[in-house]
Amino acid sequence: MKILVTGGAGFIGSAVVRQAIAQGHSVVNLDALTYAACLDNVATVADHPDYAFEHADIRDAEALARIFDTHQPDAVMHLAAESHVDRSIDGPGTFIETNITGTYTLLQAARTYWSAQGKPDNFRFHHVSTDEVFGSLGATGLFTETTPYAPNSPYSASKAASDHLVRAWGETYGLPIVLSNCSNNYGPFHFPEKLVPVVILNALANDPIPVYGRGDNVRDWLYVEDHADALLCVLRRGALGRSYNIGGHNELSNLELVRTLCALLDEMQPGSVPYADLITFVQDRPGHDQRYAIDASRIQDELGWTPSVTVEEGLRRTVRWYLDNQSWWQALQARDGVGKRLGAL
Ligand SMILES: NC(=O)c1ccc[n+]([C@@H]2O[C@H](COP(=O)([O-])OP(=O)(O)OC[C@H]3O[C@@H](n4cnc5c(N)ncnc54)[C@H](O)[C@@H]3O)[C@@H](O)[C@H]2O)c1
d(CA 235, CA 242): 11
Q: What mean pLDDT comes out for the span 218-237?
A: 98
d(CA 316, CA 265): 9
Give per-residue pLDDT as tens, 198-213: 999 999 999 999 999 9
- 276 pLDDT more than 90: yes
Residue among 131, 163, 226, 289 flagged as catalytic:
131
Cβ atoms of 263 and 255 within 8 Å: the answer is no
Parallel, antiparallel or unpaired: strands 124-130 and 75-78: parallel
Q: Is 11 helix (H, G, I), strand (E, B) or coil?
A: helix
Q: Does any domain span residue 318?
A: no
DSSP class of 100: I
d(CA 177, CA 127): 8
Residue 118 Cα to ligand 1 midpoint, Å, equals: 31
Look at ligand 1, atom 9, and give the residue with the nearest C-alpha: 129
Q: Distance between terminal CA atoms of the chain? A: 45
Q: What is the pLDDT of residue 125?
A: 98
Q: Does any domain span residue 204?
A: no
Concerning whether 302 is annotated as a catalytic residue, the answer is no
Q: Residue 37 CA: which ligand 1 atom is closest?
A: 39
The per-residue pLDDT of the chain, averaged, comes to 97
Q: What is the pLDDT of residue 244?
A: 98
- 345 pLDDT more than 90: no
Burial of 342 (0-12, 13-18, 19+ CB in 10 A): middle
Cβ atoms of 1 and 74 within 8 Å: the answer is yes
Q: What is the pLDDT of residue 152?
A: 97
CATH of the domain at 29: 3.40.50.720
Q: Is 308 helix (H, G, I), strand (E, B) or coil?
A: coil
Q: What mean pLDDT comes out for the span 34-55?
A: 98
Give per-residue pLDDT as tens, 89-103: 999 999 999 999 999
Strand order of the β-sheet with 184-186 is 184-186, 218-223, 251-253
Cβ atoms of 53 and 343 within 8 Å: the answer is no
Helix (H) or strand (E) holding 223: strand 218-223
Residue among 51, 104, 155, 244 flagged as catalytic:
155
Q: Does any domain span residue 227?
A: yes
d(CA 308, CA 4): 26
Ligand 1: does its nearest atom lie under 6 Å from the Cβ of 31?
yes
Cβ atoms of 266 and 196 within 8 Å: the answer is no
Q: How many CB atoms lie within 10 A of CB 117?
A: 12
Q: What is the pLDDT of residue 86?
A: 96
Give per-residue pLDDT as tens, 133-153: 999 999 999 999 999 999 999
Residue 213 Cα to ligand 1 midpoint, Å, equals: 26
Q: Which of the listed residues 28, 64, 79, 143 should we mutate to test ligand 1's pocket, taking the one with most ligand atoms within 8 A of CB?
A: 79
Helix axes 224-237, 11-22, angle to 10 degrees: 60
Concerning whether 322 is annotated as a catalytic residue, the answer is no
Q: What domain range is 297 assigned to? A: 2-191+221-250+292-309
Look at ligand 1, atom 27, and give the residue with the nearest C-alpha: 81
d(CA 296, CA 246): 6
Residue 37 Cα to ligand 1 midpoint, Å, equals: 9
Q: Residue 288: which of 216, 191, 192 has the closest Cα?
A: 216
- Number of independent structural domains in the chain: 1
d(CA 275, CA 205): 10
Q: Does any domain span residue 319?
A: no
Q: Does any domain span residue 256?
A: no
CA distances from 217 to 174, 201, 235, 251 (A): 39, 21, 31, 10
Ligand 1: does its nearest atom lie under 6 Å from the Cβ of 181?
no
Q: Does any domain span residue 115?
A: yes
The rounded percent of the chain whose pLDDT value lies above 70 is 100
The rounded percent of the chain whose pLDDT value lies above 90 is 99
d(CA 225, CA 15): 6
Q: Which of the listed residues 5, 11, 14, 59 should we mutate to test ligand 1's pocket, taking the one with most ligand atoms within 8 A of CB?
A: 11
Ligand 1: does its nearest atom lie under 6 Å from the Cβ of 195?
no
Q: Does any domain span residue 200?
A: no
Q: Does any domain span residue 201?
A: no
Q: Residue 179: which of 165, 192, 189, 191 has the closest Cα?
A: 165
Helices (H) and strands (E) in the chain, counts: 12, 12
Residue among 31, 57, 86, 132 flagged as catalytic:
132
Residue 49 Cα to ligand 1 midpoint, Å, equals: 25
Residue 83 Cα to ligand 1 midpoint, Å, equals: 5
Q: What is the pLDDT of residue 279?
A: 98
